[in-house]
């Protein structure tokens, strides 16, 4: 009975060898796509300037105060460096200054952060998946390799060891590159979220009531006059 269980385990491991290799190759292709997407993202963010962000936010606020929401949407285009940011900015211009607008903007910021985390989840999965596939791809071929060694079959030993070491290298490569992408993307998305928070703060800041400063000056002038006209 024990021998039968061992044989079942050996058979299951042998069946997993091909799927593991196929998944490792698919993960490598997935990683290549992620690297290409990352290069596009970094190219867009190289044009980020704080002065341009401030100018866009102020123009958007001025357009909203004037009731021109389409002009505000156009003014905020330079602040959006991705499709997700642009969608959030469109929502900002739509609801800023309206009843319940602050709550809607807060929800949009939370949704943007959730979308960023979901985007990061792709490469974070590869960080764990790559080494796991590499380890499985290393251990599974070792069984037939050792069997070939025991039988003096050098060809079987060599082929299985080549497969084992190749999948190991592939898995480590996937994990390392995916980890680097995750770190940099986390910083980029954090900057995007911070920029959206800044724009939201500018669009929802209380408007300065004209004449407040003048009223304060008048009060000062009256107080000064009262002090002058007092007892001499």
Strand, helix or coil for residue 148: helix
118, burial (CB in 10 Å: exposed 0-12, middle 13-18, buried 19+): exposed
- What's the rounded Cα separation, in Å, for the pair 120 and 28? 17
List CB contacts of 178: < 8 A, sequence separation 6 or more. Answer: 31, 34, 123, 124, 126, 127, 130
Note if the pTM is more than 0.85. Answer: no
Question: What is the block-wise mean pLDDT of the chain (232 residues), using blocks of 10 residues?
Answer: 78 86 94 93 83 90 90 90 90 89 92 94 93 91 84 86 92 96 94 93 75 42 42 40
Which tokens is 160 given? 């299985």
At residue 208, the pLDDT reads: 59
């Amino acid at each position: 009975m024990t021998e039968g269980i061992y044989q079942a385990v050996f058979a299951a491991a042998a069946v997993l060898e091909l799927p593991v290799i196929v998944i490792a190759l698919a993960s490598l292709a997935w990683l290549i796509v992620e690297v290409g997407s990352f290069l596009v993202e970094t190219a867009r963010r190289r044009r980020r300037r704080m002065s341009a962000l401030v100018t866009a936010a102020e123009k958007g606020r001025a357009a909203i105060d004037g009731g021109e929401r389409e002009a505000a949407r156009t003014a905020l285009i330079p602040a959006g460096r991705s499709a997700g940011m642009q969608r959030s900015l469109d929502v900002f211009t739509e609801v800023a200054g309206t009843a319940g607008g602050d709550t809607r903007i807060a929800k949009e910021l939370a949704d943007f952060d959730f979308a960023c985390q979901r985007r990061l989840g792709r490469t974070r999965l590869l960080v764990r998946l790559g080494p796991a596939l590499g380890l499985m791809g290393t251990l599974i071929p070792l069984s037939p390799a050792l069997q070939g060694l025991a039988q003096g079959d050098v060809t079987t030993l060599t082929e299985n060891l080549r497969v084992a070491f190749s999948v190991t290298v592939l898995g480590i490569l996937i994990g390392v590159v995916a980890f680097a992408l995750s770190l940099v993307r986390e910083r980029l998305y954090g900057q995007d979220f911070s920029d959206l928070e800044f724009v939201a703060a500018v669009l929802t800041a209380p408007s300065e009531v004209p004449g407040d400063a003048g009223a304060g000056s008048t009060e000062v002038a009256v107080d000064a006059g009262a002090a002058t006209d007092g007892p001499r």
